[in-house]
Structure 1
Amino acid sequence: MFPATRTRELGFETVDTPPVRANVGSMAASGLFAALLLLSLAPLPHAAAMSNHTWRVELAVGLFLLGSLTIKNVRFALESALSKRVAVFIALFAVWGLISGLWASSFASAVHHTIVWCEYGLFFVLASTTLKAPGRVFLLSTFIWFTTIIGLVTISDYASLPDFKSLEGILRTRYSAYGELTVTIAPLLWAVAMYQRRTKSWLLAMLPAALGWVSAMLSLSRGVFLAGIAGSVVAFAGAMIFGRQIHRKRVAATAAIWLTVTIAVQVGFSLLTPIPATVDYLSGKADPTRESSAARLFIWRTTLPLVEEHPLTGVGADNFGAAANEGRAEFRRTHPADLTDEINSDHIVERAHDEPLQILAELGLPGFVLFVLPLVIFGWYVARSLVAGKRRPSSMFWAALGGMVAFGVSSMVSSFSFRIVQNGIAFFFVFAFAVYELARTDRSGDRASRIVVPKAAVTCLLILAIAVLAVKGVAEYSFAAGDETDDKTEAQTLFTRAATFDPDYAAAHYRLSGLAFDRSDHPTAAAELRTAIDRGLGVDLTYSALADCYAKAGDASNEFKTFDEALRIFPRSIFLRVRYAIELEKDGRKDDADHQLDLARAVSQKDANGWYSLITRGSLRTFLDAQDNTEMSAPADLRPEPAVLQYLDKEPGQ
């Protein structure tokens, strides 16, 4: 690798210090940490319905940090003024998230948010400390391990695919979660390759970067693909424009390899295999309906009312899922002429698919300002360095900035972003790289004393975080055990434990509702299902089930209130309208029933007639009638499909 070099060119002093050499200890530690970041891919036992918030990777990296403190005696220290300012605002953002729990529907969710952001802050400080020492290789080695493993696993999965269409959804979900992380760190790995003097070493160094970029493209995520392109362009363009002239040839050659890999994967998959490439999804060739894009747009539109209703406080950190229906109902109230179908009415909406928008909705304007300020301050330092600085930022800086840009672009359309802890850790590692490299270009005006975060404070914080996350783990494994047992008494005990240990575990309350319903304890079933809905399980199917619980409990008032509430959220749900109409008919309220049927038929007469026939006459008669009646949909054409399954005729013996 190149030695550290400083040369004057066009009035600037360029500082280009390549990564230091690895050692066995740092490689082993980085390999372990990369494995922790990939923990979600491990075939570990898990519940069929997981907790509302992730906990496994958070717990694992918390233990890693605690181990670093006790075994390696790692110090958390900051020197540059920029790194201190960034760390302060991360801490303030975490504290504001905890404070928001005072008015949130779930304080436990706000605690989870604070734990995650405290971990982000500690990893930023750790990275900033590590970059000052030869141990900086730990970060780059972690990235190399990660991209190599995820790249090989992705390629292996694609090579052994029996049928892409049947596994498309699983593959895209599995790898798009890691795609954001990969495009964030990949520019730094391309930069590492730029520093290799020998051609053989250069080609070898590009392998992890290429594997990571290939895995990101094979996630088939349009957002990840565009984000990766944006980040790579920033990294290569910055190095070309501001780098040393002698270094530009290697930058150009590396960029050419990146472009070749990109074109080869896109053209190769699109033209030579039955598996579509990301460009096919962008063009609409592989997804002509563009359902996911339509769903995102609708979620953004229904999130804005939450921002308008809670501009200063937000709904509380990590409370978006529980409040999403509030925004949807307000949107429908204020836009009665909007004829958008009930997108995702049978899907749980946990995230806004736009990180800045979700932060604004959850934490209000104060939280949004605290979130943005570190980036604004960083941007000011970058501008000052380019305009007035005597030294040029290194190629590593431009690579880190490219990674940050990639993460930011992806976060605008992603449901993952900071909500998946490994993504957030990668971002703050890369952010620390950028801050460190930038601070090296302008040492004159920002000399300040070193700040060391007290080891005792970090230890206490980590122990508390680990305890909270471990409790969530106990809850989830209790839920899994409850699903596995055939003993309903034991299942009741296990699901109750899960709901007690994790109050936000909506699925645990859902299971408890089902057990109560089975033993004809309908008031308890209704109470548990109401809790599950309030915790985020408010879809058309659960509202229908809640109304059924109230009906069987003899509580007609709450039954009809449930339908009214559900239809404020899903006013164009034909299924709910017809269900409501039928229950009103049973109650002798024919005029009200006819009104609900008219509203349903205004959305789709065929579907309204199909639902009415399916619920009142059964699936076989509905199917047969639909063959001759052009104004009636067959059961197979009705949506949501899970609701249709509830009304299929039972075969003899069932």
Structure 2
Amino acid sequence: MLSTRPVSDASPDASRATSFGFESLGSLLAFGALLALLLLAPFSLSGFWATTYDFWPQAIFLLLGAGAALLLAISPDARFGFDATATLLLVFLVWNLVSALTGVYHHDAWLELARIFGAFIVFFAVRALWKPSRALWIVGAWILGMTWICIPALSDFAQTHYPRQAGPFFNTNLFANALAMTLPMALIFPVLLARATKNQVVLTLGALPFLICAFGLIVTSSKGGFLAAIVALFVTITLIFCAKAASIRIFARRNRAVLMVASLIFLLLFGALAAKTIVPRLQSARGSDDNSTMFRAYIWRSTLDMARAKPIFGFGPGAFPHVYPRFARVSYTRSAHQSWLQIAAESGFPALILVLGAVGAALKSGAARLKTRDWPYIAGATGAVCALLVHGCVDSGFQTTSIVILFAVALAILTAREKLEETSSETPPETRKSRLNPWWLGATLLLALGGNQTQKAASGEDVRFRAVEFARNGAPTISSQKMKEAVAIDPTSARLWLTLGRLQAQGGDNGRAALQTAAQLQPSNATNWTNLARLSERAGDAPAAIEKFYARALENDPLNTSILLEHAQFRLASKNRAGYDDLQKIIALRAQPYGLYAPVEQIVDLDFARATLLIAPEFKRKKQSAQLQSLLKIGLADCARARSFVTQNEQMRRETGGEFGQSENDDLETVSAALQVLQTSLK
């Protein structure tokens, strides 16, 4: 047996905490891999691939996970373990598999399914490796993994006073989500350390992660993260009192002065930071017209409509970014800003019921152990789960791999049984079956398949980025050749085929075949149909054929002002006065939620101003000068705002896939000047 020897004067608890009891090299190595994952996941697995298309961290995670699963498969002491929570999670994964098979775009569905599967395998790994002697290390790795990434964020805030720190996460809200989940675990960490050591220096240092993570949460200025943390800590503290009320009262009486001074210092620091970060955002949220709140409210309604459209299996895992526009009430977003509705929309309401059922089963299992010596773990893990449940109501943390991994660990802690160690110690290793564990072998195969597919996506995207750079540098032939290499690597990616078609068209070649392939692979993406319409226009195809492409595009994204504007220009160029109907739709959207609540207030949609210029002759013909004057004022105001945020507009354009399209601000001064001339002519 691989184990460490406790020192002779150690307490029983300390002895128990230092005897790791590994019965095979495989389980020892797998445990090391688990700790490394918890330490590194917040740094390396906190991106949002639906926007960044950075698949390499995910691919490496899955492939290394396959290796760890194989180590567990050859370890006789690493059991897969089934209970209500485990069964519900497995059924949830199977349901997502069926959803992927019936989804509208298989490529991204497989990537998302692999991501979810990889994260939830951590749940089974923690349970297989769980022993009280190892629990402190698992919790410690989680806490340290989140603590060390807070330090650069706090340092940056101290230097720049920028109140929206995101750390390595895709945005501040996701960073806040992970921190809100970590705070309950950090709160109970000193209790766990006290069981393992009496060293006062170590015990004092054990309180630092809570303080660092708390201040890290404050500098995110996330309203949802703040709410989730309050609920999580309230639940955790309540459970601690339920488990150890008498002991807490005695401790508080003996250390009253120290606790009061520490609390006062913490509150003063908290107040100083909060006054510059979260407080201004909370004050702005009190109004009914708060942009962030209203934008989310309309997204949630649209996501619910999306879920109702296919309530059983949804549109497929990962489908939200390209299916949501069909149901949108406001502008484009790549996530629902609501984890639970997005699960229902992508995988169906049964999938949502299954994952919430797994949470309920885990909480019930944990509650049954609250009065045991496991109470710190139960209190912390329950708080962490509650943090995700609350934050999931206002943002899409479930779509971030590192957050799902922490969620899986919390569920595993709630359902882990101490009797596993007792069984392990009482049963001689030589009497156990040495055959390979079929469940872990199956997990190994699935992780390897998922990692291989994700690696193909990563390699294809790498080549795509290089091809785009060649195109920007004036080498269209080389860029097209590179894109052909990309689609050969990952032939089911509509993104790659779309880029190939665009580059071929820009280089003077016929990109129709590539664009048609993109539309066939991903018929739910309006961009694919819009590009076919553009190509058909340049080729001089019949107007009826072009109209069909625009119709498919607007069917998938009826509120897209850019597509409506292009459609109007095409119609007007074809002497079809129906183009004015498209322009009227754009003008009308200005006063609707789409125009009132932008995803980011600083990002200005100039399509309203462009539509005003195109529709001006129609207003003049109808002698509607007053209405036109009003539209001109709005258009000029939009131009003035856009002029102040040129950099942000360009960045947003690139982040939403506009590498080849016209920059949102390229014609800003031209549009502004034309509006001014038109306004002068009406005086």
TM-score norm. by structure 2 comes to: 0.73
Q: Secondary structure at the match of 1:160?
A: helix
Match of 1:182 among 179, 183, 195: 179
Q: C-alpha separation between the residues in 2 aligned to 1:374 and 1:636?
A: 51
Equivalent position of 2:138 in the other structure: 139
The residue correspondences of 1:211-610 to structure 2 (distance < 5 A) are 211-243=212-244, 245-248=246-249, 263-264=267-268, 266-271=270-275, 276-284=276-284, 290-328=290-328, 343-344=330-331, 347=332, 349-381=333-365, 391=372, 394-417=375-398, 419-436=399-416, 454-485=439-470, 486=473, 487-502=475-490, 505-521=493-509, 524=512, 527=515, 531=519, 534=522, 538=526, 547-555=533-541, 556-567=543-554, 576-590=563-577, 592-603=578-589, 610=609
Letter aligned with residue 237 of structure 2: F
Unaligned runs of 5+ in 2: 1-8, 22-27, 424-431, 596-605, 617-624, 643-648, 654-662, 672-683
Q: C-alpha separation between the residues in 2 aligned to 1:291 and 1:171?
A: 25
Q: C-alpha separation between the residues in 1 aligned to 2:545 and 2:252?
A: 67
Q: C-alpha separation between the residues in 1 aligned to 2:295 and 2:521?
A: 21
Equivalent position of 1:12 in the other structure: none
Letter aligned with residue 271 of structure 2: V
CA 1:554 to 1:34, structure 2 compared with 1: closer, same or farther past 3 Å?
A: same
Letter aligned with residue 141 of structure 2: T
Q: Secondary structure at the match of 1:101?
A: helix
Q: C-alpha separation between the residues in 2 aligned to 1:223 and 1:251?
A: 31
Letter aligned with residue 158 of structure 2: A
CA 1:578 to 1:35, structure 2 compared with 1: closer, same or farther past 3 Å?
A: closer
Q: C-alpha separation between the residues in 2 aligned to 1:374 and 1:394?
A: 20
Letter aligned with residue 148 of structure 1: T
CA 1:650 to 1:453, structure 2 compared with 1: closer, same or farther past 3 Å?
A: same
Q: C-alpha separation between the residues in 2 aligned to 1:407 and 1:548?
A: 44
Query: Shift in Å at residue 587 of structure 1?
Result: 1.4
Equivalent position of 1:336 in the other structure: none
Q: C-alpha separation between the residues in 1 aligned to 2:274 and 2:220?
A: 14
Letter aligned with residue 474 of structure 1: S
Q: C-alpha separation between the residues in 2 aligned to 1:587 and 1:75?
A: 74
Contact map agreement 1:110 1:319 (CA 8 A) in 2: yes
Q: Percent identity?
A: 18
Contact map agreement 2:69 2:443 (CA 8 A) in 1: no
Letter aligned with residue 226 of structure 1: L
Q: Secondary structure at the match of 2:321?
A: helix
Match of 2:52 among 50, 57, 68: 50
Unaligned runs of 5+ in 1: 6-15, 329-341, 444-448, 618-624
Equivalent position of 1:129 in the other structure: 128
Q: C-alpha separation between the residues in 1 aligned to 2:363 and 2:51?
A: 42
Which deviates more, 634-643 or 276-285?
634-643
Q: Secondary structure at the match of 2:148?
A: helix
Alpha-carbon displacement from aligned partner over 1:416-461 (angstroms, at most 9, x marks no partner): 32x2211111111111112226989xx9xxxxx9996555334333
Match of 1:647 among 655, 664, 667: 667
Q: C-alpha separation between the residues in 1 aligned to 2:74 and 2:524?
A: 42
Equivalent position of 1:93 in the other structure: 92
CA 1:311 to 1:59, structure 2 compared with 1: closer, same or farther past 3 Å?
A: same
Q: Secondary structure at the match of 1:316?
A: coil
Q: Secondary structure at the match of 1:311?
A: coil
Q: C-alpha separation between the residues in 2 aligned to 1:219 and 1:609?
A: 33
Q: Secondary structure at the match of 1:38?
A: helix
Q: Secondary structure at the match of 2:394?
A: coil
Which deviates more, 319-328 or 252-261?
252-261
Equivalent position of 2:6 in the other structure: none
Q: Secondary structure at the match of 2:206?
A: helix
- Kindly report the root-mean-square deviation, in angstroms, between the aligned alpha carbons of the 2 structures: 4.7
Equivalent position of 2:106 in the other structure: 107
Equivalent position of 1:208 in the other structure: 209
Q: C-alpha separation between the residues in 1 aligned to 2:416 and 2:49?
A: 42
